Amino acid sequence: MTLTELTSTEPATGEILWTGEAGDADAAVANARTAWPKWAALPVTQRIEAVRKYANRVRAHSEELAELISRETGKPLWESRTEVDSVINKVDISVTAFAERTPQRKLSSPDNMRAALRHKPHGVLAVLGPYNFPAHLPNGHIVPALIAGNTIVFKPSEKTPAVGQFMFEMFEKAGLPKGVVNILQGGPDAGKKLASSEDINGLLFTGSAQTGVALNRQFASRPDKILALEMGGNNPIIVWDTDDIHSAAVLVVQSAFLTAGQRCSAASRMIVKDGLYDRVVKEVKRIADRLIIDGPFSNPAPFMGPVIDNHTADGLTESFLALMSHGGRPIKHMARPIDDRPFLTPGIIDVTSMAERPDIELFGPILQVMRVNDFEEAIAEANNTRYGLSAALIGGSAAQFDLFWSHSRAGIVNWNKMTVGASSEAPFGGIGLSGNHRPSAYYAADYCAYPVVSMEANQAKATIGIGLKDEENGN
C-alpha cells in the first residue's frame, strides 16, 4: 500500500504531532541532478562554509529540535539534547575527516612529470534515515556527502517525518542552493522507488538488516553505484573476573536499555562466567528494577521512554514470550505499564538452556543471559551470530582482552565500557549482517568520494625505444 499522506504521533501520549503529504521521488532526484554540477564545482571551502551555516542554524534552534525529537521518538529530553549536540559537532568532525581521508596530495614521480591524488564526488546520493536517531544518523551521511560535493535526496523514516522535515528546513534556511538537499517524505514504497532510480549515483542506508540485505541484492548488478549499509546487531557483552559487580551491572544496564534498547549497538546478550552469575544477574536486575520509565518531559527525568510505537511494543512482547516458550527462564518479566501506549519495562531472560537461540536483532529492551564455564566458551558464544557490530568485555585481564579483541567478529570491541556510545571521531560499522564494510561516522568520507590518480606533464613528449621496425629497410 502506497502512503500518500503521513501522520506522526507521539509515542508517549498518542497525540498527533505532524501530518504531511508523501513526496515525488522522481522530482526530488531530478532537482538534485540539476543542482549537482554547480555544487560540485564550488571550491570545497565554500561547501564547508555552507554546512557551517547549517550547523549554526541548528545551534540557534537546538532546544526546539531536541523537544521535537523527544516528542516524535519518546526518548528523554536529556538524550535528545545529546543527539542535537552530535548533529552540530558533526560538521567540524566531517571537515577534519574529509581532509584526512580524502586529501589532495602529490605522489612521487619522475622529474619530467607530476603525479597527483584527488577525490571526486559521486553525484546524487540517496540517504535513507532510521527512527531511533532521526537527526544524528542521517546527518552523519548528509554532511560529509555535501562537503565532498554530492547533492542529496533524504528520505526520513515514515515513523519520524517531523524531525526529517525540520532538518530539511534548517538546510533551506542556511541558504544552501535549491536542489542541493531535497526531502522525500513517504513510506517504504517511496524508499523503494528512490533506491531504484536510475539517476542516483548511490545510496547511504541506516536501518534493519532485512532492508539492508534487500538493498544489497538490488545493487548487486550495479557496481557503478556506491552502497553504504549500516545495519543492526545482536551484540554480546561478556562479564568476567571482576570485584566491582555494581559497575559491571551498570555498564550492562546502560548497554542494554539506553534509548529503550533501540540502538543498533545495544547489548542483546550478556555472557557471564558461571562463578559470577548469581551476583551479576542479581545486581543487573536490581538496577533494572530501579529504572524510571516515563514520558520524555517527566520530572524526575526518566532513564528511558517508550519504544517507537505500539506495533513495535507488541512485537517485542511477543518475542519475549517466544523466548520463554522455547526454554528461556525469565529473570525480569517484560511488562506494558500502559495498555495503549508503547512503554515497556526491561525484560531479562536466561537462555542458557535453549536448544536453539534466535539470531535476530531484538530492537528494544530485552536482554538475554547466558552462563559459561571458561573464557574460550565465552568468546565462542559472543561470536555465535551472523551480526558483527559491537562487543564488550567487562572485567578480565589485559591478556584476556587482547584475546577477546583478536578473536571478536565485530567492528567495535570495548573493554570495561558500554557497547553503545561510540565516538563520532572514530569509524562506526560492523561485519556480517551489520554492514558491508563501509563504516560510517569518521570514515563516512571514504564512501562520499572516490579517488582519482593523475600522471601529468606540461607537454606531450614520448618515444618508443624498442620493438619498432627500422624505417630505412623495413626490418
- Start-to-end CA distance of the chain, whole Å, equals 76
Buried b (16+ CB within 10 A) or exposed e, 253-282: bbbbbbbbbbbbbbbbbbbbbeebbebbbe
Average pLDDT in the 1-13 region? 88
Query: Bridge-partner residues for 173, per DSSP?
Result: none
- Cβ–Cβ < 8 Å for 163, 69: yes
Active site residue 448: no
Per cent of the chain over pLDDT 70 is 99
pLDDT of residue 473: 65
Q: Which of 231, 193, 190, 239 is nearest to 213 (CA)?
A: 231
pLDDT of residue 114: 84
pLDDT at 111 over 80: no
For the stretch 228-268, pLDDT in tens is 999 999 999 999 999 999 999 999 999 999 999 999 999 99
For the stretch 47-64, pLDDT in tens is 999 999 999 999 999 999
Average pLDDT in the 295-302 region? 97
pLDDT of residue 444: 96
Average pLDDT in the 366-383 region? 97
183 phi, psi to nearest 5 deg: -110, 140
C-alpha cell at 151: 547533492
Average pLDDT in the 364-377 region? 97
CA distance 200 to 152: 9
> Considering 230, 283, 361, 381, which one is annotated as catalytic?
230
How many Cα atoms occupy the beta-carbon half-sphere of 403 within 13 Å? 13
Average pLDDT in the 302-328 region? 97
For the stretch 253-263, pLDDT in tens is 999 999 999 99
CA distance 181 to 143: 10
Query: What region does 73 belong to: left with phi over 0, alpha with psi -120 to 50, or beta?
Result: alpha
pLDDT at 1 over 80: no
Q: Residue 124: exposed, middle, or buried by beta-carbon count in 10 A (0-12, 13-18, 19+)?
A: buried
CA distance 295 to 312: 17
What distances in angstroms separate CA 3 from CA 58, 186, 194, 272, one per listed residue? Answer: 29, 6, 14, 46
Q: Average pLDDT of the chain?
A: 95
- Cβ–Cβ < 8 Å for 245, 280: yes
> Considering 79, 264, 381, 448, which one is annotated as catalytic?
264
Active site residue 425: no
CA distance 138 to 129: 5
Contacts of 179 (CB under 8 A, 6+ apart): 31, 32, 34, 35, 151
